[in-house]
Amino acid sequence: MSMQPGDALASHNFGLQIDGVLVEYLQEVSGLSMKQDVIEYKQVTPQGQLVTKKMPGVKQAGECTVVRGMTHSAAFSQWIQESIYGNMSSARKNATIIMMDYTNAPVKRYHMRNAWCSSVEASTVKAGEASALTETISITYEELVIE
């Protein structure tokens, strides 16, 4: 069943593509944002009235956070290693967060251009604990394009 007018996407149905290949199931994505500087300038008209104008400035790069279960996913782990060890020629990749409808059809995409992993943090390991281990990864990107 496809989405009907007025339906919103469910927050639990999403995926991550790196260079066009769906490589990982994720637990959480947060902080996806696109920002732009605002230029404000003031001038006085010939009649002496103050006029304030605002214009778009430079787009800013961004960062998002991804939480994934610790798996043996070679592609994702390789991307983290290349980024952390500074192999930027292969670490910079185009990544996309895909939001899907109830039938798993892509509906909205957040394309992150020249994305790479800037940090990784493992969850707490505790004797006797019955929970899945996760990794929290910060992905920095140069540009976000929303489709």
- Reported as a single tens digit per residue, the pLDDT across 75-96 is 788 888 999 899 999 999 999 9
Q: What is the mean pLDDT of residues 40-68?
A: 94
pLDDT at site 70: 85
The residue length of the chain stands at: 147
Inter-CA distances, 101 with 5, 8, 9, 32, Å: 13, 9, 6, 19
**Alpha carbons 137 and 91: distance in angstroms, whole number:** 14
**Tokens found for residue 113:** 């251009």
Q: Tokens 């069943």 appear where?
A: 1
**Alpha carbons 61 and 112: distance in angstroms, whole number:** 10
Query: Where does the pLDDT of residue 2 fall: very low under 50, low under 70, confident under 90, or very high at 90 and above?
Result: low
pLDDT at site 52: 96
pLDDT value at 7 more than 60: yes
**Tokens found for residue 143:** 């540009």
Domains of the chain: 14-146 (2.30.110)
pLDDT at site 24: 67
pTM of the model: 0.81
Q: Quick one: CA dihedral 11, 15, 19, 21, positive or negative?
A: negative
**Alpha carbons 114 and 142: distance in angstroms, whole number:** 6
Among 135, 109, 96, 110, CA closest to 18: 96
pLDDT at site 5: 81
16 forms bridges with which residues in the sheet? Answer: 24, 97
